[in-house]
Structure 1
Amino acid sequence: MNDDVQPQEGRSAPRGRTGPPPGTPVTELRFHLPDLPRVREVAEGEARGFGMSADVVSDLVIAVNEVATNAVTHGGDHARLRMWRNGGDLYVEVRDEGAWKPGPQPGSVGGMGLWVCRLLAADLTVHAGEDGSTVTMRFPGKP
Structure 2
Amino acid sequence: MPLPSGVVVKELTFSVGDLPEVRDFAALQARRVGMRHDSIGDYLVAVNEVATNAVTHGAAKARMRVWCDGGDLLVGVHDDGHWVPDEPPGMIAPHDYSTSGMGLWVARRLTKELVLRTGQNGTELIMRFKLP
TM > 0.5: yes
Deviates more, 1:63-72 or 1:101-110: 101-110
Q: TM-score, normalised by structure 1?
A: 0.80
In structure 2, the gaps of 5 or more residues are none
Which residue matches 2:131?
A: 141
Structure showing the higher strand proportion among its residues: 1
Deviation track 1:29-59 (CA, whole Å, cap 9, x = no partner) reads 0011111111000100111111111222111
> How much identity, in percent, do the aligned residues show?
49
Higher relative contact order (CA 8 A, sep 6+): 2
Distance 1:20 1:140 in 2: 18
Deviation track 1:41-86 (CA, whole Å, cap 9, x = no partner) reads 0100111111111222111111110000000000010000000011
Amino acid paired to 2:117: H
Which residue matches 1:29?
A: 12
Runs of 4+ aligned structure 1 residues displaced above 3 Å come to: 101-109
Distance 2:111 2:64 in 1: 16
Match of 1:89 among 72, 80, 85: 72
Q: TM-score, normalised by structure 2?
A: 0.86
**Deviation (angstroms), 1:113:** 0.7
| Cα root mean square deviation, aligned | 2.0
Which runs of structure 2 are paired with 1:1-143 in the superposition (5 Å)?
Answer: 13=1, 19-100=2-83, 102=85, 109-142=99-132
Distance 2:50 2:60 in 1: 14
What SS is found at the alignment partner of 2:21?
Answer: helix
